[in-house]
Amino acid sequence: MSEDAEYIIRAEHHDPFSYLGMHPAEHEGRKAVTVRAFLPEAKTAAVIDAERRDISYPMEKIHPDGLFESTIEDREKVFSYRLKVVGPHENVREFYDPYSFLPVMSNYDLHLFAEGKNYFIYQKLGAHILTINNISGVYFAVWAPNARRVSIVGDFNLWDGRRHPMRVLGSSGVWELFIPDLPEGEIYKYEIKTMEDLVLLKSDPYGYLCEVRPKSASIVYNLDRYNWGDAKWMSERQGKDPLHSPVSIYEVHLGSWRRKGEEGNRFLTYQELAYELVDYVKDMGFTHIELLPVAEHPFDGSWGYQVAGYFAPTSRHGRPEDFMYLVDHCHQNGIGVILDWVPGHFPKDAHGLAWFDGTALYEHLDPRKGEHREWGTLIFNYGRNEVRNFLLSNALFWFGKYHIDGVRVDAVASMLYLDYSRHEGEWIPNRYGGRENLEAIDFIREFNELVYKYCPGVMTIAEESTAWPSVSRPTYLGGLGFGLKWNMGWMHDTLEYVSKDPIHRKYHQSSLTFSLLYAFHENFILPLSHDEVVHGKRALLDKMPGDFWQRFSNLRALYGFMYGHPGKKLLFMGGEIGQWIEWNHEQSLDWHLLQYEPHQKLQRFVKDLNHIYRGEPPLYEIDFDYTGFEWIDFHDSDNCILSFLRRGRSYDDILIFVCNFTPVPRYPYRLGVPRDGFYRELMNSDSEIYGGSNMGNSGGVYAEPIPWQGRPYSIELVLPALSALIFKPE
């Protein structure tokens, strides 16, 4: 028995194609061909000429474990063939030999991948349904450069790593195998034997679909059969500039927005969400849905932020085309879709990316660079070309295959700083001795450049919690290249202010005004996000001080101030109906609250705010330049009153906001305005239809030629307690 045969039997052969399959040979000095196959289930086997099915050649069993061989003396050249196998129960199978096919991936693809420049590598790596030489099957390819052997295993081969070992393509570290006749829907993993002879079972990093947790195998899937109906949306998107358009985002966790309590508290499917969620968001007037990560993740409690399947929408809610249907339905109803994307870290689960080929492949070996101990996760090695290519292609994948309209990049600060959440001695400085992660910075810039190059009209959004400069400025100006950045400072300061008893607020008015000192340094989104209603922070309504009535009034005043403040808007689900309890990912929102009038009226207030926001250009046209905002008065801290105006591109297109953050009505209250005329009360958060006391200005007031606050005219107002008012000159 040859060494090659022993290696095949033990599943240790470094190049199974050099031994298995059909090869030129000599027999008694004459040219011949030899066919070898490892068929452990076979009683007998034969080689069948694929073009002349009446010609067959019996194979000899040369090893009791199932190694068969046939030397065909009357054939001088290799030919297309099939293997005919008789099993232990006399069942007969006939199939093309996987080891009769030439390599599929080109040297050019491998070269670009090694450079980190094969931006659509997901079209090559992973599992792909292909037809080669008129033979259909599945082509598998995986990057595992330090593996001794890689095999494809699944139900189709009894999870036996000896049956389908892969070929490695030179020094690229890419292993591939085409398995003919394998159908869509087969589950599979990669069995990887490490240099230390450990055997690992790994899901496909590029897999398009995964089993429903707690199972973790990948599933062969075709993503190209869905017929999209959003051509108009996609065409118009290319010509849109989100920075000068209304962006009001409803942040959603699909697993807990609504559940079917009458059916065991099950998740809604993507198909159900396409109607229930999208119809709701459209009615509420939001422009976008932002989904907490939908990429496959093993643990519900991570909310999707510990991703195991970067190319697979979670199977919790259905199949990939069902998720496509959800996005498509959003677009056909005028709703954009933003995904949370997590390129900063990944979990340590044994089936995932961690220690993928027995080495620190996707992560850093040194935990001072490669581990977030606080989160129990690993950090991507952004300095490795293939790892960077994996992430870049993943971003383009979601835009290309699923038509999404933006990504919000999670935990950007943890990527930018080497000492993030680390004590002295727990991190390694960069080559200049600094704390900045230079490799991650380069990756982020390349990511933004690629997305805006290939996907015009979309948004990239940074969740970045520090004072890093120019996060949302172009890379050619030295910025990171994001389109937008979450304004975490605004969120923190504003919630701190509105959580205080009103009697103390006059000492803290700067918490509301400070954000205008830096409001135009970045392109900001104002978030009231999921992070603020978990972990003991309390729901938004529960943060508000005062009695029952005052809490609702406080919250409406907060929303009114938020919609007037420069910046795009984001509200986490439940905030619009007045959840009393913190968000719990294991149960539905408290939709039953809508049977009570105060919650119904709060919901109507948010809905009307959105429709005013979308219909009034001063609220979105000039969000990121000082010319779109003017203070009228921010000095009235004793009364806790702020007043300002917003301008559109037309200088005369203005709105005036007045916010009273005390439970004391203020009247008469004189306010300076820029011109004469009637100022219609466009919205009053104290209106009875929103649950207020119905104190107001009878629909509007006329300006008087009384100079006030440095302006030539003024209006005399009634300011209800805990209110936000919007006026529009006519």
Query: Which among 646, 657, 633 is positioned nearest to 566, based on CA atoms?
Result: 646
pTM of the predicted protein model: 0.94
pLDDT at position 684 is 98
* CB contact at 8 A, 657 and 646: yes
Contacts of 103 (CB under 8 A, 6+ apart): 167, 169, 176
pLDDT at 1 > cutoff 70: no
* Cis bond before residue 663 (omega within 30° of 0): no
Question: Does the pLDDT at position 511 exceed 90?
Answer: yes
**What's the Cα-to-Cα distance from 205 to each of 218, 296, 540, 561, rounded to whole Å?**
9, 11, 38, 44
Judged by DSSP in three states, 450 sits in helix
What is each CA distance from 290 to 232, 408, 452, 527, 578, in whole angstroms? 21, 8, 19, 11, 19
Containing 391, the helix (H) or strand (E) segment is helix 385-402
Exposure string of 90-125, with b = 16+ CB inside 10 Å and e = fewer, is: eeeeebbbbbbbeebbeeebbebbbebebbebbebb
Mean local confidence (pLDDT), 487-494? 97
For residue 102, what is the DSSP state?
-
* Alpha-carbon gap, residue 51 to 187, rounded angstroms: 31
Q: Tell me the C-alpha distance between 327 and 322, whole Å.
A: 9
Which of 60-74, 137-151, 404-418 is predicted with the least confidence, judged by mean pLDDT? 60-74
Mean pLDDT of 406-415: 97
Spatial distance between the Cα atoms of 583 and 226, rounded to a whole number of angstroms: 34
- What is the phi-psi region of residue 309: left when phi exceeds 0, alpha when psi lies from -120 to 50, beta otherwise? beta
Mean pLDDT calculated for residue range 114-128 = 97
For 682-721, what is each residue's pLDDT tens digit? 999 999 999 999 999 999 999 999 999 999 999 999 999 9
Distance CA 231, CA 672 (A): 48
- With a cut of 80, say whether residue 29 has pLDDT above it: no
Band the pLDDT of 422: cuts 50, 70, 90. Answer: very high
**Which pLDDT band holds residue 89 (cuts at 50, 70, 90)?**
confident
* Dist CA 368 CA 358 (whole Å): 19
Domains and CATH numbers, the chain: 3-96 (2.60.40.10), 107-219 (2.60.40.10), 627-729 (2.60.40.1180)
> CB-based contacts of 476: which residues, under 8 Å, 6+ apart?
none
pLDDT of 182 over the 80 cut: yes
- Predicted confidence at residue 454, as pLDDT, reads 96
Mean pLDDT computed over 73-79: 87
Q: N- to C-terminal Cα distance for the chain?
A: 96
DSSP-derived pairing of the beta strands 174-180 and 199-202: unpaired
Dump pLDDT digits (tens) for 43-57.
999 999 988 878 899
Over residues 445-456, mean pLDDT = 97
Q: Are 430 and 418 in contact (CB under 8 A)?
A: yes
pLDDT at 374 over 80: yes
Does position 559 have pLDDT exceeding 80, yes or no?
Answer: yes
Q: Name the average pLDDT for the chain.
A: 96
Contact 646, 654 (CB under 8 A): yes
pLDDT (0 to 100) of residue 320: 97
pLDDT at 382: 97
Bond into 214 cis (ω within 30): yes
pLDDT higher than threshold 90 for residue 661: yes
Picking from 577, 580, 558, the residue whose alpha carbon sits closest to that of residue 569 is 558
* Mean pLDDT of all residues in 178-196: 96
**Is residue 445 over pLDDT 90?**
yes
Residues with a known catalytic role: 410, 463
Per-residue CA distances from 493 to 286, 351, 359, 489, 529 (Å): 24, 42, 44, 6, 14
pLDDT tier for residue 501 given thresholds of 50, 70 and 90: very high
pLDDT value of position 286: 98
Q: What is the distance between the alpha carbons of residues 510 and 532, in angstroms, rounded to a whole number?
A: 21
Give, as one character, the DSSP assignment of residue 531. G
Say yes or no to pLDDT of 27 above 90.
no
The pLDDT value recorded for residue 2 is 82
SS3 content of the chain, % helix, strand, coil (to 5): 30, 30, 45
Q: Measured between alpha carbons, how far is 567 from 569 in angstroms, rounded to an integer?
A: 6
- What's the average model confidence in pLDDT over 115-133? 97
